[in-house]
């Protein structure tokens, strides 16, 4: 895929700069949904179903440092939760 902008092999997730700018991000792949919440750290939530994160039963939640390294760990963690 020429000009790939996603940092994930599975999900369409923007580069770390998007999160450094203070943005949240959410997406899904089939029945698997996720949200990355921006704060002093990056928090990632996962759940199954089409409900939004406010109404869904959150299955997994983990915080990561808001650094490039922490972001890389978040992506690996998210991909592992999807693969489970």
Is-contact 27 34, C-beta < 8 A? Answer: yes
- Phi/psi-derived region of residue 75, left when phi > 0, alpha when psi is between -120 and 50, beta in every other case: alpha
What would the two tokens of residue 74 be? 């978040």
pLDDT tens profile 31-73: 999 999 999 999 999 999 989 899 999 999 999 999 999 999 9
Q: How far apart are CA 35 and CA 26, in angstroms?
A: 4
- Predicted structure pTM score: 0.90
Using DSSP's 3-state secondary structure scheme, residue 70 falls into: helix
């Amino acid at each position: 895929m020429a000009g790939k902008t996603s940092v994930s092999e599975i999900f369409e997730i923007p580069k770390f700069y998007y999160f450094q700018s203070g943005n949240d991000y959410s997406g899904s792949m089939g029945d698997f949904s996720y949200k990355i919440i921006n704060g002093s750290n990056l928090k990632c939530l996962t759940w199954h179903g089409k409900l939004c994160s406010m109404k869904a039963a959150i299955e997994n939640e983990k915080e990561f440092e808001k650094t490039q390294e922490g972001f890389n760990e978040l992506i690996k963690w998210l991909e592992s939760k999807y693969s489970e």
